A and B are shown apart, each in its own frame.
Chain A
Amino acid sequence: MNKKNIVIVNFWGLGDLIASLSFIKKNENHIYYIITPQNKKKVEQLVKILDIKTIVNVSRFEKRIFLVIDILIKILQNRLIIFTAPLAGKSRKFVKFLSFFYKNSILAEEKGNIYFLNEKIKINY
């Protein structure tokens, strides 16, 4: 199986980020880089305590503007970017705009339970 280097984007709170970590835990056969406004150290501690058995790196940025720049850098690197649920409101509009130009990305659906929406995301091999 081809091990992919995947970027996970979640702009929401620490609780919502758990739904993204749940996705990673169920897809441990890849390597991840998380872009989140949450504190890097805190997220790394969470990854450890949840016993996620793959490499997970976390963006060191917390401010939105730097997170967006981080996403743009990953786009230039042609990395697969997954925008996990919850993905609503302004974030969704922004991501839809981005994904119009950048096809190597997956957007979680908007309506429904955030855990089930993330479970529906399929990584193509």
Chain B
Amino acid sequence: MNFILCPGSAEDQKFKRWPIFKFLELANLYITNNHNVKIVIGPQEEYLSNFFLKFEINISSTFLELKKLAQESNLIICNDSFLLHFFSILDLKVLGLYGPTDPNRTLPTNAYKISSNKKSIYRPCWGKPYYGVCDNGRCSCFDGLNALDVYKKSLNLVSRKNLAG
């Protein structure tokens, strides 16, 4: 199976990013289990490429390049970012990682979602005065969402037909 990981999001909203070391752990899980992984990184996120040196990385690709790349994949995994919306409107299979933002508000109608099962009084902190700094100055909305959870969900998604939710 071919997976694309998009670990970035807008620079001014880094708290919307699932932790980078978890993306790395997820990428390694795919490789260990004989899947293919490509990393897509935006123009403002080049520094993230340092975490994925042993993987195929696509940096600052054009919209057309992204479209072609994604069409060859079985699933694209993104934070709640531009790429989540972009790949979804192209009718590709996309899994959105939701932490501080609310999937009921922004999840594209044909996309899938995953968020932490861990109970939190903060999540999602979007729209609240402490957005992005909900837990003593740190956003804890992604806490409890582990690489293995995303890995299992992704395999489940690629093995079934489109049925968003």
Q: Tell me the interface secondary structure of chain A in the complex.
A: helix
**How many angstroms between the C-alpha atoms of A88 and B90 in the bound complex?**
26
| Distance of A72 from chain B, by nearest CB (Å) | 28
Please, which residues of chain A bring their CB within 8 A of the CB of B83? 15
- Chain A interface size band reads 20 to 34
B63 contacts A49, C-beta separation under 8 Å = yes
Q: Does A14 contact B (CB under 8 A)?
A: yes
Residues of A that sit less than 8 Å from B by CB: 13-16, 18-19, 21-22, 25, 45-46, 49-50, 86, 88, 112-116
Task: Tally chain B residues at the interface, Cβ within 8 Å.
Answer: 22
| Given A46-B63, A50-B89: A18 touches B82 (CB 8 Å cut-off) | yes
**Which of B50-58, B99-107, B134-142 forms contacts with chain A?**
B99-107
Q: Does B67 contact A (CB under 8 A)?
A: yes
| Distance of B80 from chain A, by nearest CB (Å) | 8
Chain A residue at smallest Cβ distance from B110: A115
Please, which residues of chain B bring their CB within 8 A of the CB of A45? 62-63
A113 contacts B107, C-beta separation under 8 Å = yes
A50 contacts B10, C-beta separation under 8 Å = no
B10 contacts A21, C-beta separation under 8 Å = no
Q: Does B64 contact A (CB under 8 A)?
A: yes
Could you write out 10 A-B pairs with CB less than 8 Å apart?
Answer: A13-B82, A14-B82, A15-B83, A45-B63, A46-B63, A86-B105, A88-B127, A112-B105, A113-B109, A115-B109
Q: Does B108 contact A (CB under 8 A)?
A: yes
Contact of B105 among A46, A49, A113 (CB under 8 A): A113
| Distance of A62 from chain B, by nearest CB (Å) | 15
Q: Does B85 contact A (CB under 8 A)?
A: yes
